Amino acid sequence: MAHTEIITSVFTDIVGFTEKTANQSRVQHRKMLDDHDLLLLPLVKVFGGRKVKSVGDGLLLAFRSPTDAVRCCMAMQDSLFAYNRDRSSDQALNIRAAINVGEVSVDRNDIFGESVNLASRLEGVTPEGEVYFTQAVFLAMNKTEVKCEPVGARQFKGLDDSVEIYRALTMDESSELPYGIDVPEIDTGLLSSLNMNASTVSGDRAWWRNPLVIGVGGILIIVITILFVSQSGSPEDVVQLKEDAREALASNNLQVAEELVKIHMEIHPADPDGLLLAGHVQIAGKNIQAGLENYEAAFKLKPELVEDMELRTRIIDNIGRAVAINNFIARWPQLELVETLLEMAQTPGWKKRHAAVDILTKLDKLKDIDFVAVALLDLSEQRECEKRHATVRKLIKFDDKRAVEKLENLSKLSVSRKAENKCFRKEVNEYFSSGKSDAKNITSDTSSVEKPKNTVRSLVRKLINAGDGKNSSTDSGDSEAARK
């Protein structure tokens, strides 16, 4: 539902875009736009803004603070200045930036209205490499943080009155960067102690291992990223963030891995490998649902990722922890986990075992499940009498050789554990009285196995007598137990 807010609107535009693209291949064109986003979008995040949308070759951005909006645009110009330093004119990236503040209509993620339109028209008259803003911005911003000067009044289409325009002032010629903007929340003393200059970061891929980096949190990671991109003029380094995130994840530095993945996905939101990595990080952090959603988004963009070995390992490790995992495996049979699940269904550990049975059932693999093995493991792990009772009923129903052996073991319980039999004695007695216990005695894989010496009937007698504390070696004892 649309509503109104006071928002600072920013328009940026690549200067000479049409002329550049006329002489570029599609690959070169894509790389130019990627470099543009790699250099600018992390800055928007650091200064508290957000990307509303791309508008042709430019960006529409939104900020809460007019001061932050102006300083972000100045930092963008610094970043591009450093990037262009070692590039020819046809490879250089130059932008103009224009800013206005006022009431806008907000509908979902988009903004529009007269205030936004004015920012767009101001961008059209802003010179290359400059940051222009309206008098409304000038009056609202913190003037101690932005040095500026008036440009003069301009008349814009659709407005009755002229608008006073200001420009951000550049530093003197001795400055390395035109505006010399300090990125917010960066502690230069801390950076010095970390020795985190551009060459260090791009040369040492394990910079994030420093405990100070982990302690300060995500903002410092983002700042460092911007520093080495803007100072080294190498946006290709940002691509390395994904690999850094992988290494951080492998070292269990989840906070660092998460922040690095966030930066990468901010720049490349449709990267399937990035989505897969984001899923790994979230699953490792126990954010199961979000991780699975990223996995599925990655599969849709790049189906072969369903075969990723790390993905399989993480999914297997989390079976039994969330129903969402069971449903995910059932939705993606391409994971080819049936053999693993069948093995897990015969492994100690109630949660994993029954999760495996649940998933195999959803995959229509009921006939492959060894339910006798499942029940035997259940009985060995259960201590509550009612649960043991339910499992004994399953074993009686199966009438499998392995069930006979288990019943025999139960009949030999020590005196201190005989009470465990009490709750299912009646069930066993009825089974014995019906005569079904001697009807068959088969193994799970053949019907021609010789009946063992101790039949179900005799074992049931032992089991009942074990509950009464009587000796089961005589016929009279058996009869007495049966009558009870």
- The predicted-structure confidence for 63-79, as pLDDT tens digits, reads as follows 999 999 999 999 999 99
The confidence score (pLDDT) of residue 448 equals 35
User: 476 and 389 in one domain?
Assistant: yes
CATH of the domain at 93: 3.30.70.1230
Domain of 462, in residue numbers: 377-483
Name the domain count of the chain: 3
The confidence score (pLDDT) of residue 458 equals 56
Three-state SS letters, 5-62: EEEEEEEEEECCHHHHHHCCCHHHHHHHHHHHHHHHHHHHHHCCCEEEEEECCEEEEE
The confidence score (pLDDT) of residue 162 equals 95
Copy the structure tokens of residue 161: 């009155």
Q: What is the pTM of this model?
A: 0.48
Which of 332, 361, 393 represents a domain boundary (last residue)?
332
Could you tell me the pLDDT band of residue 144, with boundaries at 50, 70 and 90? very high
Residue 1 to residues 4, 97, 104, 324, 427: CA-CA distances in angstroms?
Answer: 10, 30, 14, 31, 63
User: 197 and 156 in one domain?
Assistant: no
Specify if 358 maps to a domain: no
Mean pLDDT calculated for residue range 41-60: 89
Helix (H, G, I), strand (E, B) or coil at 150: strand
Specify if 457 maps to a domain: yes
Specify if 145 maps to a domain: yes
CATH of the domain at 311: 1.25.40
User: 239 and 163 in one domain?
Assistant: no
Mean pLDDT calculated for residue range 166-190: 74
C-alpha 15/C-alpha 307 separation (Å) is 44
Could you tell me the pLDDT band of residue 306, with boundaries at 50, 70 and 90? very high
Could you tell me the pLDDT band of residue 425, with boundaries at 50, 70 and 90? low
- For the beta carbon of residue 341, count every other beta carbon within 10 angstroms: 24
Q: What is the pLDDT of residues 379-416, one digit of tens each?
A: 888 777 778 778 877 877 776 778 767 666 665 554 44
Which of 296, 313, 332 represents a domain boundary (last residue)?
332
The confidence score (pLDDT) of residue 156 equals 93
Specify if 176 maps to a domain: no
Copy the structure tokens of residue 447: 């019907």
User: 316 and 394 in one domain?
Assistant: no
User: 144 and 19 in one domain?
Assistant: yes
C-alpha 407/C-alpha 419 separation (Å) is 15
User: 150 and 203 in one domain?
Assistant: no
Q: What is the pLDDT of residues 79-134, one digit of tens each?
A: 999 888 888 888 889 999 999 999 999 987 899 999 999 999 999 999 999 999 99
Res 469 pLDDT > 70: no
Specify if 313 maps to a domain: yes
Specify if 456 maps to a domain: yes
Q: What is the pLDDT of residues 219-243, one digit of tens each?
A: 445 555 554 444 444 445 555 778 8
C-alpha 409/C-alpha 430 separation (Å) is 20
User: 298 and 155 in one domain?
Assistant: no
C-alpha 66/C-alpha 138 separation (Å) is 8
The confidence score (pLDDT) of residue 442 equals 33
Specify if 183 maps to a domain: no
Q: Which helix (H) or strand (E) holds 106?
A: strand 95-107
User: 471 and 433 in one domain?
Assistant: yes
User: 205 and 296 in one domain?
Assistant: yes
Mean pLDDT calculated for residue range 51-71: 93
Angle at 380 between CA 378 and CA 384, to 5 degrees: 75
Percent of the chain at pLDDT above 70? 71
Beta strands in 125-275 (DSSP E): 131-134, 148-154, 163-168
The confidence score (pLDDT) of residue 183 equals 64
Res 43 pLDDT > 60: yes
User: 310 and 197 in one domain?
Assistant: yes
User: 159 and 201 in one domain?
Assistant: no
Whether 245 and 263 have beta carbons less than 8 Å apart is answered as: no
Measured N-to-C along each axis, helices 272-284 and 288-301 cross at an angle, to the nearest 10 degrees, of: 160
The confidence score (pLDDT) of residue 64 equals 95
C-alpha 464/C-alpha 425 separation (Å) is 6
Q: Which helix (H) or strand (E) holds 351?
A: helix 350-362
Which of 277, 307, 332 represents a domain boundary (last residue)?
332
Count H helices, E strands: the chain?
23, 8
User: 112 and 77 in one domain?
Assistant: yes
- For the beta carbon of residue 122, count every other beta carbon within 10 angstroms: 24
Strand duo 95-107 + 131-134: pairing: parallel
